[in-house]
Amino acid sequence: MSPTLLQEVSDHHALAGAKNASYAHSDPLSEIPTLSGVDISADGSTPIIDMEALLGPRRSEAIKQIGLACEKNGFFAVKNHGIPEMKINNMLDTAREFFHLPDEERLKFRSADPDSVIRLVTGFQDKTRNVFVSRQSLKFHCHPVEEYKGHWPSNPPSFRENVGEYCESVRKVEVAILEAISESLDLERDYIDKILKGHYVSINYYPACQESELDVTHGVRTHTDPTLITILMQDDVPGLQVINDDKWINVNPIPNAVVVHVGDILQAISNYRYKSLLHQAIVNCEKERVSIASYCYPSDDAMIGPAKKLIDEVHPAIYKDFTYREFHESMWRVKCSTAKRLDLFKPSSD
Ligand SMILES: O=C(O)CCC(=O)C(=O)O
Ligand SMILES: [Fe+2]
């Protein structure tokens, strides 16, 4: 066992009962979390965007703030997003009810095919890293809702209605935020919306810490999302951590706000001006946690290279042109760290 892993092990035991335990990270790209006794209550400063400002005379100021947050932080929180509080609460309640169902009800949705329209992924043991990854997630397509609804669980009975309503509301936020992001890059307002296909939802459920024969229990390991943007709704239990200035910071829940992450595809379109956010979720030893991630992705044939307007002598193209289909296929074909997925599309890697 490497010294780093040994260090993780002993730190993990020291922190086992800690509330909202955090991880420090010596090398953010190594994807192997190093546990240490950093300030466990610290909440990094989350840029907050008021979405109402996008609708009025403060629009250009709000767009500037969004651009700055994408460039400097890779994420921001959005308040006044227009998703009714009741729809959020219904979605979270439904998610909890689904994950409290007996195994046989939930496991019907288990599938190893990453392209299936719905699939349940259970917690698993990564023995190569001595890590137990405790997240269970139900992942499904949801745009347009009517096309996919029939594939969703009918138990709990409220599932289709509550999830459908949430997905339709989130779609409006997606479109509006992507318009603002396009403008923040000085591109036409619909530059990104024109290639947007839909979103794919992952209902993430993290049981309160479980016993595992492995040494480290992690909610979700460090990764970037293969998306344009991800819109994340968290319940009131902290767990999300992001890399900021090479350090892990907590992004604690803000009531009724969603968190927007820059994803890989936006990193490519922006010619590496906006960087895909490295993030992870930690487990909480006292409470279960639920988060709802909406992954916005483009249509298969959409060309994803850097926007031509963002390429010049000072900013040469960091990536070749490629389709979303090529990117998606390479994700499953080539085993590499998620933060390196886009390297395959650099001009020199023919
Ligand atoms: O639960 C969280 O806070 C993060 C979830 C996540 O990163 C994902 O679903 O891709
Ligand atoms: Fe993620």
* Integer CA distances (angstroms), 40 to 17, 134, 287, in order: 12, 20, 16
Query: Cα separation of 126 and 258, whole Å?
Result: 30
Query: Cα separation of 70 and 282, whole Å?
Result: 23
Distance (angstroms) between ligand 1 centre and the Cα of 199 equals 15
User: Which two tokens mark 19?
Assistant: 């509330």
Domain definitions of the chain by residue range: 48-345
Q: Is the pTM of this model over 0.90?
A: no
Query: Cα separation of 190 and 164, whole Å?
Result: 25
pLDDT higher at 119 or 133:
119
Residue 290: burial class (beta carbons within 10 Å; 0-12, 13-18, 19+): buried
- Percent of the chain past pLDDT 70, that is, above it, reads 86
* Integer CA distances (angstroms), 203 to 31, 43, 96, 181, 295, in order: 23, 24, 9, 25, 11
Determine contact, residues 188/269, Cβ cutoff 8 Å: no
Q: Is residue 239 within 6 Å of ligand 1 at its C-beta?
A: yes
| ipTM for the predicted complex | 0.99
Specify the pLDDT at position 195: 94
Determine contact, residues 292/235, Cβ cutoff 8 Å: no
> What is the third-level CATH fold of 48-345?
Jelly Rolls (2.60.120)
- Kindly identify the ligand whose nearest atom is closest to the C-alpha of 240: 1
In this predicted model, what pLDDT tens digit does every residue of 218-250 receive, in sequence order? 889 889 999 999 999 999 999 999 988 888 889
Query: Cα separation of 35 and 7, whole Å?
Result: 8
In this predicted model, what pLDDT tens digit does every residue of 95-110 receive, in sequence order? 999 999 999 999 999 9
Determine contact, residues 278/28, Cβ cutoff 8 Å: yes
- Kindly identify the ligand whose nearest atom is closest to the C-alpha of 235: 1
Strands 216-218 and 131-133: parallel
Torsion of the alpha carbons at 267, 76, 20 and 291, rounded to the nearest 10: -80
Nearest CA to ligand 1 atom 1: 291
* Integer CA distances (angstroms), 235 to 30, 238, 281, in order: 29, 8, 13
Q: Is residue 218 within 6 Å of ligand 1 at its C-beta?
A: no
